[in-house]
Amino acid sequence: MLKPESMDFETGQVLLFDKPLYWTSFDLVNKVRIMIRSALGIKKIKVGHAGTLDPLASGLLIICTGRATKRIEEFRDLDKEYIATIRLGETTPSYDRETEVDGRFPVEHITEEFIIRVLKGFLGEQKQVPPVHSAKLLEGKRAYEYARKGIEKEMTAVTVHFRELELISSDMPDITVRIVCSKGTYVRSFASDLGKALGSGACLSALVRTSIGPYRLKDAFSLDKFEDFISKMKHIGKSSV
């Protein structure tokens, strides 16, 4: 358990945060930087995150400070675990709720047994096409910049690996799936691909990242808890060890 007296943000610290819904990963990094500088009187400090989480997703984000930012790539390479809520029978251009529904499909033929059988087919190495509404770099710009202007760009398939896929609940047309996957996996693309494999359509309606390698969401700071934490550091007169 982290203790205020043992923290040294400037030398380098690895912090776990629960990213709020609708915040970008950069929003959270910026907020944490401001909180550290303001509370502890540190003029300048490096702060970065180890793996983007979409604004419409919440959950675990690893944030590194100081010299620990050199470890960011190490964390990005770790497998991720997500809890995904997927709406069957509906599709959107972004594969999630960022855009309006553009297609409706039958779901009456879909049973729990069918879903479980199809999920098994996704296990292992897969080719996946990233969403056009994503932060993927294309010719120096983010893919979503082209998509929002109606400019069509071909997205290149990437290789991802699904380690575990578990159907947690089925309350049709919504299902909840636990996913353990490699870096670079787009859960939105998985939701879209799953819908097609089920002979229907699907989009992601909610997403929580619950772990990154051995790091768990249950051990993460909320912003309120982090504010209390660094306030204790301030009271003991400590900006660094």
Task: Return the CATH number at 173.
Answer: 3.30.2350.10
Region of residue 100 (left: phi > 0; alpha: psi -120 to 50; beta: else): beta
Q: Which residue, among 157, 17, 155, 21, has the nearest Cα to 85 in the 3D structure?
A: 21
Q: Which residue, among 164, 213, 166, 160, has the nearest Cα to 183 in the 3D structure?
A: 160
pLDDT beyond 60 at 139: no
Which residue, chain included where needed, has tokens 């998985």?
190
Q: Which pLDDT score is estimated for 40?
A: 81
- State the Cα–Cα distance between residues 145 and 137, nearest whole angstrom: 10
Whether 54 is catalytic: yes
**Out of 33-37, 67-71, 136-140, least confident range:** 136-140
Q: What is the mean pLDDT of residues 115-125?
A: 98
Confidence class of residue 11 from pLDDT cuts 50, 70 and 90? Answer: confident
16 against 6, higher pLDDT: 16
Domain that holds residue 228: 4-77+214-235
Q: For the chain, state the CA radius of gyration.
A: 20
User: Are 167 and 108 contained in the same domain?
Assistant: yes
Q: Which two structure tokens, joined as six digits, stand for 224?
A: 């309120």
Q: Which of 54, 77, 79, 228 is catalytic?
A: 54
- State the Cα–Cα distance between residues 96 and 118, nearest whole angstrom: 20
CATH number of the domain where residue 44 is located: 3.30.70
Q: Which two structure tokens, joined as six digits, stand for 9?
A: 């943000």
Q: What is the DSSP letter of 221?
A: B
User: Are 92 and 127 contained in the same domain?
Assistant: yes
pTM of this structure: 0.90
CA terminus-to-terminus distance, the chain: 17
Q: Which pLDDT score is estimated for 89?
A: 98
Q: Which pLDDT score is estimated for 1?
A: 58
pLDDT beyond 60 at 138: no
